[in-house]
């Protein structure tokens, strides 16, 4: 790899993980040797259909559902959109979600005239306010809540939501509503069959746990009302039309199979790396705080910190120059560094949020990655603060 200054360290796994070699190997034959369209009737088509069915089995085991409940999509965004828009179209009711949801949930909820519920200081949906919203809708003859969405793990902070507790509130106060959970960030770390058991709809995507980009799924439990958004071919039991992307679906299935086999061991290993990274930075740098309140359940892969006296965009520039790829917010909030809606929902002020940094690890992360980050980040922060002090003194 060369000298330490030449290291390339990827600490943005929450945005997208590298595809695992086993996944690539599973996909290649379906890119190069098997041309069949799974909707056809000849042998090549039947082979493609069997490959999709095998992948459906693996995703079903990962999430804890029947294979027939798996609807393949182009990724997490489409799965989230289909969950919200599909239920709203099927029922005519309104959706509800938390203020810390991914934009793929927030925007359809707002576009449908739904309600956005505030969060607690950790970024989890406020169950007291949710109860009030559901009770108010129940008392209004002209209003019905069709769906409540609360993500299983936050895409910026890794904070874990108690989906079962959300489902219990919904069951008591809006029994006809469907619970949806965006489990995109949870898939690599949490025991989904347990965590999302109370949800009628579950979104995942492969590129968060070693699979390919462009392949995801929405789990639609039996009996959940869902109208198709993409129509025309009748694929996926008429819930999502369009010729299936066989290579990507095969890759998603293989990533799901590996995740089921290795999740516990990987979670312990990566959690130890994350803790060493986070503890080392807090010890080495003054004026840094952990964004997530102590004791809050979170996934093993995310270290989220706020640094006083710096701007995230400047820090990211210096880190990239020293070989570290990281982010200041979720990948979908990249580009111009706007204040994070997630941090705003948690009550983090704009000045503090301006110095936020998300360092996310995954299956490919190593001790050497953490060593390099601990060597580079304190120096970069001090350099920015020194520059800021010199500018202020002029």
315 and 357 in contact (C-beta within 8 Å)?
A: yes
Say which CATH class 4-18+263-393 falls into.
alpha beta
Average pLDDT over residues 243-259: 98
143-169, pLDDT tens digit by residue?
999 999 999 999 999 999 999 999 999
- Alpha carbons 44 and 67: distance in angstroms, whole number: 22
Sign, CA dihedral 12-99-263-278, equals positive
Sign, CA dihedral 84-89-90-92, equals positive
> Which segments of the chain belong to CATH 3.40.640.10?
21-259
Q: Which fold has domain 21-259?
A: 3.40.640
User: In whole numbers, what is the pLDDT of the chain averaged over residues?
Assistant: 95
pLDDT on residue 333 = 46
pLDDT on residue 392 = 79
Strands 115-117 and 178-182: unpaired
Q: Which residues are catalytic?
A: 332
Q: Model's pTM, two decimal places?
A: 0.95
* Residue 61, Cβ density class (10 Å: 0-12 exposed, 13-18 middle, ≥19 buried): middle
pLDDT on residue 338 = 65
289-348, pLDDT tens digit by residue?
999 999 999 999 999 999 999 999 999 999 999 999 999 865 444 444 567 899 999 999
Question: What would the two tokens of residue 216 be?
Answer: 């995801």
167-180, pLDDT tens digit by residue?
999 999 999 999 99
The answer on pLDDT for 383 being more than 70 is: yes
> Which segments of the chain belong to CATH 3.90.1150.10?
4-18+263-393
CB atoms under 10 Å from CB of 25, counted, come to 11
32-89, pLDDT tens digit by residue?
999 999 999 999 999 999 999 999 999 999 999 999 999 999 999 999 999 999 999 9
pLDDT on residue 335 = 47
């Amino acid at each position: 790899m060369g000298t330490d200054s030449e290291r390339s360290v990827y600490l943005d796994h929450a945005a997208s993980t590298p595809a695992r070699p086993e996944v690539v190997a599973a996909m290649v034959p379906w890119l190069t040797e098997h041309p069949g369209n799974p909707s056809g009737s000849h042998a090549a088509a039947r082979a493609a259909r069997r490959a999709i069915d095998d992948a459906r089995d693996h995703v079903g085991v990962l999430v804890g559902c029947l294979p027939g409940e798996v609807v393949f999509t182009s990724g997490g965004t489409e799965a989230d959109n289909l969950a919200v828009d599909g239920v709203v179209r099927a029922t005519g009711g309104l959706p509800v979600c938390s203020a810390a949801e991914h934009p793929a949930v927030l925007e359809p909820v707002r576009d449908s005239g739904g309600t956005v519920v505030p969060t607690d200081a950790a970024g989890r949906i406020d169950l007291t306010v949710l109860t009030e919203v559901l009770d108010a809708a129940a008392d209004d003859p002209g209003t019905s809540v069709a769906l409540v969405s609360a993500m299983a793990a936050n895409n910026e902070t890794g904070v874990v939501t108690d989906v079962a507790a959300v489902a219990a509130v919904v069951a008591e106060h809006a029994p006809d509503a469907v619970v949806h959970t965006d489990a995109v960030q949870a898939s690599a770390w949490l025991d989904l069959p347990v965590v999302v058991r109370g949800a009628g709809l579950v979104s995942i995507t492969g590129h968060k746990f070693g699979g390919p980009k462009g392949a995801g799924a929405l789990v639609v439990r039996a009996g959940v009302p869902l109208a198709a958004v993409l129509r025309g071919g009748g694929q996926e039991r008429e819930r999502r039309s369009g010729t299936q992307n066989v290579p990507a679906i095969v890759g998603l299935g293989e990533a799901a199979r590996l995740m089921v086999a290795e999740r516990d061991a990987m979670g312990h290993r990566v959690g130890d790396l994350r803790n060493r990274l986070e503890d080392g930075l807090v010890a080495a740098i003054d004026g840094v705080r952990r964004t997530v309140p102590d004791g809050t359940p979170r996934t093993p892969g995310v270290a989220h910190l706020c640094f006083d006296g710096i701007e995230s965009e400047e820090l990211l520039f210096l880190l990239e120059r020293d070989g570290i790829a990281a982010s200041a917010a979720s990948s979908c909030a990249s580009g111009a560094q706007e204040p994070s809606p997630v941090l705003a929902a948690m009550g983090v002020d704009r000045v503090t949020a301006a110095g936020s940094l998300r360092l996310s690890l995954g299956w490919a992360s190593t001790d050497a990655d953490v060593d390099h980050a601990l060597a580079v980040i304190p120096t970069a922060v001090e350099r920015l603060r020194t520059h800021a002090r010199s500018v202020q003194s002029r």
